[in-house]
């Protein structure tokens, strides 16, 4: 790994900042497609300036019919001595949250050595995430009761003091019922499970565990952050009927661990808040300033940076890929 990868961490902060800033202009307008387009345009434009030979391995994909940040796209300036890295992005985890002015939306990306970010064969996965104290203690194959009892014992808490974050989906009705029967608390989230999974490993987040079925790409991004803060995510594929029909060889019993999803010695993660949430504050407008809040992590050094940035509207510009130029940030 090359020395200039140290600077890439700061460059990735600028990338997620730009995505969050551009998307925040559409806060509460009810158009999640517009939110996504704005974030993608800024993220792609800023990535073009980064000293990097990057290949997108987790991107917008077919689901969003994206013309940019698709799987296989090359990003970065591709200078001769630039490091080669794989890139995973979610320009906005929670486009609906931004469109409706709801909490927990973030702009996210991760970078790792070539071949070290998993490309999972199903869009959905069953997940279990936790912090350092519970790492290696829980089992995605165990019952909800068993995992909650173990978590309470290890953390020195009563079960009714344990809080589990879960996506508010009909598919989780049985899971929610089982958690309530044991007596643990539940925090239902409408979207944005990357932030919820990461929050399990951060002190004072109020979330001890993340459970349930969510997006596989989001799991890889969460793993990239959890690797840097010694948390853990366990995963099992949860294929749709269509995916089962297309691939009879899917191993739904295999358990993927954090290093299976985000491996190698040097995984870099950056997330910028768009709306206020458990992980980060959202974009704040104040007179002629815009304030952003970012968390960046580097697994090689276990460095965690929290960056509060003040952007002067009179001077702040964002590189937009669609225009091929830097444009002034406006409210």
**How confident is the model at residue 323, as a pLDDT?**
84
**How confident is the model at residue 60, as a pLDDT?**
79
Asked if 274 and 26 count as a contact pair (C-beta separation under 8 A), the reply is no
What angle is formed at CA 105 by the lines to CA 274 and CA 70, rounded to 5 degrees?
95
**How confident is the model at residue 64, as a pLDDT?**
46
**How confident is the model at residue 193, as a pLDDT?**
93
Q: What residues form DSSP beta bridges with 257?
A: none
Asked if 183 and 162 count as a contact pair (C-beta separation under 8 A), the reply is no
Helix (DSSP H) and strand (DSSP E) numbers for the chain: 9, 15
Asked if 319 and 46 count as a contact pair (C-beta separation under 8 A), the reply is yes
**How confident is the model at residue 326, as a pLDDT?**
81
Query: What ranges do the domains of the chain cover?
Result: 5-114+267-328, 124-261
Token pair, residue 295, equals: 């968390």
* pLDDT block averages, 10 residues each, the chain of length 331: 66 97 96 96 95 93 65 93 94 96 96 95 97 98 98 98 97 98 96 94 94 97 96 97 88 97 95 95 93 96 94 91 81 69
**How confident is the model at residue 88, as a pLDDT?**
97
Phi then psi dihedrals of residue 315, to 5 deg: -130, -15
Structure-token match 């853990």, residue found? 232
The class (CATH top level) of 5-114+267-328 is alpha beta
| Cα 149 from chain centroid (whole Å) | 28
Residue of 323, 294, 322, 324 lying closest to 21 (CA atoms): 294
Q: Where are the alpha helices (DSSP H) in 48-143?
A: 95-99
Q: What is the DSSP letter of 255?
A: P
- The domain over range 124-261 is classified in CATH as 3.40.190.90: yes
């Amino acid at each position: 790994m090359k020395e200039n990868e140290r600077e890439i961490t700061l460059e990735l902060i600028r990338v997620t900042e730009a995505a969050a800033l551009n998307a925040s202009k559409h806060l509460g307008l009810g158009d999640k497609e517009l939110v996504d387009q704005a974030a993608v345009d800024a993220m792609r434009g800023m990535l073009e300036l980064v000293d990097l030979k990057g290949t997108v391995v987790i991107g917008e994909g077919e689901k969003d019919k994206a013309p940019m940040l698709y799987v296989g796209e090359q990003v970065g300036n591709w200078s001769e001595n630039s490091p080669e890295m794989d890139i995973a992005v979610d320009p906005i985890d929670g486009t609906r949250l931004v469109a409706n002015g709801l909490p927990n939306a973030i702009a996210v990306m991760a970078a790792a050595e070539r071949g070290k970010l998993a490309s999972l064969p199903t869009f959905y996965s069953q997940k279990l995430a936790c912090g350092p104290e519970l790492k290696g203690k829980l089992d995605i194959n165990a019952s909800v009761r068993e995992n909650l009892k173990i978590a309470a014992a290890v953390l020195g808490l009563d079960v009714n003091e344990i809080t589990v974050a879960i996506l508010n989906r009909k598919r989780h009705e049985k899971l929610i019922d089982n958690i309530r029967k044991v007596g643990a608390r539940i925090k239902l989230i409408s979207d944005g499970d990357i932030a919820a999974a990461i929050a399990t490993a951060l002190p004072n987040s109020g979330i001890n565990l993340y459970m349930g079925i969510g997006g596989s790409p989001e799991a890889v991004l969460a793993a990239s952050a959890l690797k840097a803060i010694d948390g853990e995510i366990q995963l099992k594929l949860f294929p749709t009927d269509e995916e089962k029909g297309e691939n009879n060889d899917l191993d739904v019993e295999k358990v993927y661990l954090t290093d299976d999803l985000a491996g190698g010695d040097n995984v870099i993660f950056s997330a910028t808040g768009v709306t206020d949430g458990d992980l980060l504050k959202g974009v704040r407008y104040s007179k002629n300033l815009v304030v952003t809040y970012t968390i960046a992590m580097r697994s090689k050094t276990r460095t965690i940076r929290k960056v509060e940035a003040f952007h002067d509207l009179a001077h702040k510009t964002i590189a937009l890929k669609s225009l091929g130029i830097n444009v002034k940030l406006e409210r």
